[in-house]
Structure 1
Amino acid sequence: MKTVILLCGLLCDEVVWEYQAQALRAEYDVRILKFVEQDSMEAMAAHVLRHAPERFALAGHSMGGRVALELMRRAGPRVERLALLDTGFEGPAADEASRRAVLVEQAQREGIDAVAAAWGLPMLAPGHRSNPALVRAMFDMVGRMSGGIYAAQTRALLGRPDATEVLTNIACPTLVLCGMEDGWSPPERHRRMAELIPRASLRLIDDCGHMSMMEQPVAVLAALRDWLALEDAHA
């Protein structure tokens, strides 16, 4: 049975992939990895490799996509296919540290629940911010984290290298997916990523923000099934 590893993003845990993982487990060995003890991209990539077989399919969402690119830098030949969801590839922007620090400091000072709305609601498409079940699932997920975890994950993001060269060297079939209303990591960035990756397919999901797997679970599952059915470049 082929292994599919799903990487969680900032302040996310297994719940973010729950719908897709449950469906795919009928056919694949699905493993979801979160990052609550690491504070660098290098440590996060090493964490993935410790839990991975020799060959596997890899999908990363948001920060998890950044981790996936770091893993491609370090162990690309082990990855049979790659999926990058609502993520990015550039290094940190000049003002990124100061912008991120506001919420991190609040979370450490007042507790992680204090930033759930300020961080979580903008991640959703505007039309989904009034969906009580979705919003509660988001807030509960954030609440399972802590100010310390948030700070460590933010340090990892701020220390990330530019991955442009990594994209141009990816040899395996690659899915690039983004919500059309993702204001955090917009579609244009994903179009650029797809242009840089030699064997990329681009999937833009309507009525969807940054949390694509939770906002449009059926559409994302369909995209993942198509991706997993692509010919293996190493076969």
Structure 2
Amino acid sequence: MTETIPPAETFFRVPGRRLAVSSKQAGSDTTLFFVHGLGGNRQQWRLQWDRFSKEPVNLVAWDALGHGESARSKHEQVFASRFSVQDLAAVLAAFPSRKRIIVAHSFGCRITLEWISGLLAAGEDIPVDGLILLGPASLAPSLKGPMFGNWMDRLPFWIASFARPALQARFEKLAWAPDVDPEILKTERQATKRNSLFMINAVRSGAAPVNTEILRHFDKPVHILAGQNDGIVPLAEVRKVDDFLPASTLDILPDCGHQIMLEQPDVVNQYIEKELQRLSPSPGEAP
């Protein structure tokens, strides 16, 4: 499957931190922001981008540091989640919009909720009108710990680097439903070749605790989608996220793994459509 998201517009937040950002500006007062997860990239939103690029809505997607076409780094500290939160805030500020919907996946959900919890703690307004969270990562205080659920988690880092094909195969078994389209799997396998194990470990180690109790004060609509066959994020962890958010709904999708936007794009697009309709002015109402 070919890429459908347009070439990146280089975006600088601070010197040395270069993010690949793509946008489609339709002159709308509503913008969809797409936040990928750990090891992902903005092209994973291609089926949503293709669908909504035909609609009068603005679109923004970017590659996190160390992912996709964004800059790499050999410094572990730059992957601390607080910097990803700052990147999220900076991208939203760079693309001002009266109405905003964030569509996030996996670790991107955790970054989004860390950002929101920080604003709530500071008593600041939250410049977002709704969230769609796909397979949200655990909000446990730390993500340091087993990732593969077998002997691979005990490998020293330098040995794991040589065992990458085995790690890739294990990840695919956990992440995808058994009947996933082989072409999608082939595309994603190629796209993740640039991801380093150093970066993956640094992001996991740098995940700051999220103030989950304060999230109970977030009253904007949140739609959570989880794959029944997701072997990356246990359903119990997704339910905890749902419990923390008072205005959330949870939909568990059968025959679906962790990569929900690629495995069940029509369902994801339907939820986006519902949010856009909710934010659309009623007949006779001023936009």
Flag whether TM exceeds 0.5 (same fold).
yes
Note if 1:146 corresponds to 2:235. Answer: no
SS in 1 for 2:59: strand
Cα deviation code 1:170-206 (max 9, x no counterpart): 1211111111211222334333332331211222222
- Normalising by structure 2, what TM-score? 0.69
Q: Which has the higher helix share?
A: 1
Structure 2 counterpart of 1:82: 131
* Residues 1:111 and 1:93: Cα distance change in structure 2 (over 3 Å): closer
* Residues 1:22 and 1:113: Cα distance change in structure 2 (over 3 Å): farther
Number of residue pairs matched by the alignment: 229
* Residues 1:106 and 1:163: Cα distance change in structure 2 (over 3 Å): farther
Distance in structure 1 (CA, Å) of the matches to 2:92 and 2:182: 36
* Residues 1:36 and 1:118: Cα distance change in structure 2 (over 3 Å): farther
Structure 2 counterpart of 1:11: 39
Contact 1:11 1:141 in 2 (8 A): no
Alignment of structure 1 residues 124-143 onto 2, 5 Å: 124-128=176-180, 131-143=181-193
* Residues 1:97 and 1:71: Cα distance change in structure 2 (over 3 Å): same
Identity of aligned residues (%): 21
Paired amino acid for 2:110: R
Distance in structure 2 (CA, Å) of the matches to 1:45 and 1:148: 20
Note if 1:33 corresponds to 2:62. Answer: yes
- Normalising by structure 1, what TM-score? 0.83
Distance in structure 2 (CA, Å) of the matches to 1:93 and 1:67: 13
Q: How far is 1:49 from its partner?
A: 1.2
Unaligned runs of 5+ residues in structure 1 are none
Unaligned runs of 5+ residues in structure 2 are 1-27, 67-77, 120-124, 281-286
Structure 2 counterpart of 1:207: 255
Alignment of structure 1 residues 86-165 onto 2, 5 Å: 86-87=135-136, 88-92=138-142, 95-96=145-146, 105=157, 109-110=161-162, 115-128=167-180, 131-156=181-206, 159-165=207-213
Contact 1:62 1:86 in 2 (8 A): yes
Cα deviation code 1:135-180 (max 9, x no counterpart): 2122112113223332332223xx3314422431212111111112
**Larger gyration radius, structure 1 or structure 2:** 2
Query: Taking CA–CA contacts closer than 8 Å with sequence separation of 6 or more, which of the two structures ends up with the larger relative contact order?
Result: 1
**C-alpha RMSD of matched pairs (Å):** 2.9
Q: How far is 1:59 from its partner?
A: 1.9
